Amino acid sequence: MTETEQGSYVEPGEFKRDTNYITTRITADGRDGYPAEPGRYRLVAARACPWANRTLIVRRLLGLESAISLGLCGPTHDKLSWTFDLDPGGIDPVLRIHRLRDAYLARFPGYPRGITVPAVVDVLTGQVVTNDYAQITLDFSLEWTAYQRAGAPELYPEPLRSEIDEVDARVFREVNNGVYRCGFAGAQDAYDAAYDRLFTALDWLSDRLSGQRYLVGDTITEADVRLFTTLVRFDPVYHGHFKCNRSKLTEMPVLWAYARDLFQTPGFGDTIDFTQIKDHYYQVHTDINPTQIVPKGPELSNWLSPHHRETLGGRPFGDGTPPGPPVPGEEVPAGHGAR
Write out the catalytic residue numbers: 49, 180
Residue 93, judged by CB atoms within 10 A of its CB (0-12, 13-18, 19+), counts as exposed
8 in Cβ contact with 17 (< 8 Å): yes
User: How far is the C-alpha of 134 from the C-alpha of 299, rounded, in Å?
Assistant: 31
To the question of whether residue 256 is assigned a binding role by annotation, the answer is no
Q: How many helices (H) and strands (E) does the chain have?
A: 10, 6
- DSSP character at residue 219: S
- The beta-carbon contacts of 94-97 under 8 Å, at least 24 apart in sequence, are 94/42, 94/69, 94/123, 95/42, 95/44, 95/71, 95/121, 95/123, 95/126, 96/126, 97/126
User: How far is the C-alpha of 41 from the C-alpha of 323, rounded, in Å?
Assistant: 21
- DSSP character at residue 174: I
Amino acid letter for position 274: F
Instruction: Supply angle C-alpha 266, 268, 264, rounded to 5.
Output: 60
The residue ranges of DSSP E strands in the chain, in sequence order, are 9-10, 15-16, 41-45, 69-72, 119-122, 127-130
Amino acid letter for position 240: G
Q: What residues are designated binding site?
A: 82
Binding-site residue numbers for glutathione are 82
